[in-house]
Amino acid sequence: MATTRSGVLRVLGIDPGLTRCGVGVVDVARDRSATLVHVGVVRSAPTMPIEERLATIAAGLRAVIDAHDPQVVAVERVFAQHNRQTVMGTAQASGIALLVAGERGLPATTHTPTEVKAAITGYGAADKRQVQTMVARILRLDELPQPADAADALALALCHAWRGGVRPSGAVGASALTPAQRAWADAERVARR
């Protein structure tokens, strides 16, 4: 995954949902520092027919991509064992998120909630408040990102960049890493085996 724009990777995180679809865009530098670009929620009314709800979500996600031009998209992975009442709608919304990325030629990756929590707080079973607090700290925000879906989207984007999305660009290679970055990269490679 190439990092252009002076080694900064711009990631769009999407927390899929039919009623509220969280979206967060962050710029992550090679030293892992991160900056908030955009955070928000794409909504669709539960009273609308499902096909119109999905079209509304697709239009909202395309507008975010057009406005902020991310290089990669990270989407929360949905599991069948979750609440059956809502899981199908969430799965459909995640399909829309992946589709919109694919149609714009953007690579997309899914991450589990546990991966995201572990990346952001160091603890895979962290609660929503802990994730929100850490996201605010990492991005140097004065307030917690609201609502929780928006904070989750930012956490997803950060998780994606930190789990290997940010790499030194081709010509420079691994030698451009600081000793601390190299140690981190090595530890990540080992952890992925």
- Residue among 95, 130, 136, 147 that touches a copy of itself (CB under 8 A): 95
Q: Is 149 part of the annotated catalytic residue set? A: yes
CB 131 within 8 A of CB 120: yes
Which residue among 31, 51, 69, 76 is the active-site one? Answer: 76
Which residues 6+ apart lie within 8 Å of 38 measured at CB? 23, 24, 25, 64, 67, 68
Sign of the CA dihedral with 182 first, then 163, 34, and 137 last: negative
Q: Is 76 part of the annotated catalytic residue set? A: yes
- Residue among 34, 65, 96, 177 that touches a copy of itself (CB under 8 A): 96
To a copy of itself, the closest distance from the beta carbon of 104 in angstroms equals 9
Cα dihedral value 166, 168, 174, 179, nearest 10: -70
E strand intervals along 16-84: 20-28, 34-43, 72-76
| Stretch of 6-14, 54-62, 121-129, 175-183 lying at the interface with a copy of itself (CB under 8 A) | 54-62
To a copy of itself, the closest distance from the beta carbon of 24 in angstroms equals 18
Residues of span 105-164 touching a copy of itself by CB under 8 A: 106-108, 110
Question: Is residue 173 at the binding interface for a copy of itself, with CB under 8 A as the rule?
Answer: no
Which residue among 27, 127, 149, 152 is the active-site one? Answer: 149
Report CA 143 to chain centroid distance, whole Å.
19
In the block, residue with structure tokens 């707080």: 121
Taking the CA of residue 93 as centre, how many other CA atoms within 13 Å lie in the half-sphere pointing to its CB? Answer: 29
Question: Is residue 51 at the binding interface for a copy of itself, with CB under 8 A as the rule?
Answer: yes
Cα dihedral value 172, 174, 177, 183, nearest 10: 170
Residues of span 66-85 touching a copy of itself by CB under 8 A: 73, 78-81, 84
DSSP 3-state percent helix, strand, coil across the chain (nearest 5):
50, 20, 35
- Binding-site size for a copy of itself (CB under 8 A) equals 31
186 annotated to a ligand binding site: no
Residues marked as catalytic: 15, 76, 149
Site of interaction with a copy of itself (CB under 8 A): 49-55, 58, 73, 78-81, 84, 87-88, 91-96, 98-99, 101-103, 106-108, 110
- Detail the residues annotated as belonging to a binding site for Mg(2+): 15, 76, 149
